Amino acid sequence: MRNRKITIRCYPILIVAAFALVIPYSASPKPTANKTVKTRNRIAVVKSKYDDIDLVLKNYRIPHDVLAYRDLENPELVNAYRSVFVPSGIDNPMEESLDVYANNFRFKSVALKPDFYEVDKNKVARNLRRFVKNGGAAYFSGYSFEYLQKAFNMFEFFDNFPYMGMPARLEATVFNDLSRFSMKDRIALYLDHPGWIAVKSVRDAEIIAMASFETPRGMRSGPITFLARRGGGEVLYTSYDSTMFSDFRRFNIYRIAGADLLEMLEDEASEWGQTVTGRIVGSIQNHEFAGMHRIDLSRGGNTIYFYSEREFYQIDVLDRDFSLIESRDILEQEQKFNVTSGADDYCFVKLYPYTNDRFGMYSIVSASGMRIFPYLYYILSGLGFMAIAGIAVAVYRLFLKTGYRGRWRG
């Protein structure tokens, strides 16, 4: 009978403890459902007229599928990919869908082509929004801003008119991951056509490139490229849609193409309760013998996570004066480096490929905080919740259920 009483009295505490253990699990990401559409590659590019991402990915040896504009109306197909590139110039203007019949200088008739099909832009925007919110990575450039605007309503333009840019050479100031990737603070960009998209501001986004530029109404300043997290996914937009193979262009492509590699390392850092301070995806090209990136360090403990999709690398970690901190020459695709810093600082990671094989993607994630125990903060949160719940139950039993018993003195 005594055991039964103990069980009954502890029953509320046991329920609260069970909820405390379930909450961290329910907060962790769940595996996605099996996709109904099978694709050859995890990356898709929509065929376009202006920003030829298909050509760029071919030069970078990144496997991908090419989609038609109308394929974006199919949510199952879009969701089958991990990364989707929606470059400038994917739509088909009405004049390209007309058959014009003329005799010398006289027009005889104008008719729609037999294969004319009008894509529902709102449906495309809804599918892309769902794709990103469910964890996908998407690239937009130039005139494809309209799909991003329909999906998330994030742009503000000068005088409510997007097409204000004029041909110019811009000196863009670069920040955060773009600066870490390129090891530069400024990058020259050439925008060679009028009417490029001049953005005034963007809502809830991380601006990684800013510039001043000429417009028909005078000089203006605004973001050229930004990243934005929406739901479980990420979007990158850039007004720069030239096919020039610069560090700027390279970062934009690899950031979206290698999103799954970044996610894997970010999840590991989160497992140890660390704060991610930098994210880089890249590869070594044919004309390069090594790659190098800047890594920001926070005061105290830092971890540099590295993963290679294919090749093996010798990895050197150098301080700001290029003195060697650590060097590893091992045949492992995944490596971790622990770096302790006395102040907020930075270091460099230099990568030497083992063989002449090139173009395999790698990812680097830097994180601050000590690696003590996996899911430590989830456990501490659960224990704290249990303690608070136990105190609340005790107070309830002591004061509210039994009532206060004392002698009145008057």
In a domain, 176, yes or no: yes
How far, in Å, CA of 231 to CA of 298, rounded? 27
* SS3 sequence of 307-338: EECCCCEEEEEECCCCCEEEEEECCCCEEEEE
User: Given phi > 0 = left and psi -120 to 50 = alpha, else beta, which region is 195?
Assistant: left
Radius of gyration for the chain, computed over Cα atoms and rounded to the nearest angstrom: 28
DSSP 65: E
Domains held by the chain: number: 3
In a domain, residue 100? The reply is: no
Q: Do 364 and 380 fall within a single domain?
A: no
Q: Helix, strand, or coil here: 221?
A: strand
Whole-model pTM?
0.79
Query: In what side-by-side order are the strands of the sheet with 313-318?
Result: 291-297, 345-353, 313-318, 324-329
Beta-sheet pairing, 43-46 with 65-67: parallel
Same domain, 285 and 353: yes
- pLDDT digits over 164-209, tens only? 999 999 999 999 999 999 999 999 999 989 999 999 999 999 999 9
296 and 278 Cβ atoms separated by less than 8 Å: yes
- Whether residue 343 sits in one domain with residue 282: yes
Final residue in a domain of this structure, among 202, 230, 257: 257
CA separation, residue 313 to residues 33, 291, 387 (Å): 34, 10, 48
Which CATH number covers residue 294? 2.60.120.380
pLDDT (0 to 100) of residue 351: 96
> Both 298 and 156 in a single domain?
no
Same domain, 334 and 318: yes
Distance CA 128, CA 122 (A): 10
In a shared domain, residues 57 and 168: yes
Whole-number pLDDT of residue 7: 40
- Output the six-digit token pair for 147: 């799909």
Say if 15 falls within a structural domain.
no
Question: Phi, psi at residue 235, to the nearest 5°?
Answer: -120, 150
Whether residue 4 is contained in a domain is answered as: no
In a domain, 299, yes or no: yes
For residue 196, which of 165, 157, 217, 167 has the smallest C-alpha distance? Answer: 165
Range of the domain at 283: 274-368
pLDDT of residue 91: 78
What pLDDT shows up at residue 121?
A: 94
The beta-carbon contacts of 318-324 under 8 Å, at least 24 apart in sequence, are 318/347, 318/348, 318/349, 318/350, 319/345, 319/347, 319/348, 320/345, 320/346, 320/347, 320/348, 322/348
Supply the CATH number for residue 180's domain: 3.40.50.880
199 and 85, same structural domain? yes
State the 10-residue block means of pLDDT for the chain, 410 residues long: 40 40 42 59 94 93 95 96 96 56 60 70 96 97 96 96 95 97 95 94 97 95 97 96 84 96 95 95 92 96 95 95 95 94 96 91 95 59 67 67 54
332 with 208, same domain: the answer is no
| Structural domain includes residue 219 | yes
The answer on 238 and 303 residing in a single domain is no
Residues 395 and 340 in one domain: no
Q: Tokens 């979007």 label which residue?
A: 235
Q: Per the domain annotation, does 33 fall within a domain?
A: no
Tell me the per-residue pLDDT of 30-69, one tens digit each, with 9 for 90 and over.
Answer: 444 444 577 789 999 999 999 999 999 999 999 999 999 9
Say if 58 falls within a structural domain: yes
pLDDT of residue 106: 62
Distance between CA atoms of residues 314 and 336, nearest Å? 13
Q: 343 and 327: one domain? A: yes
Q: Which of 99, 94, 69 is nearest to 84 (CA)?
A: 69
**Same domain membership, residue 177 and residue 66:** yes
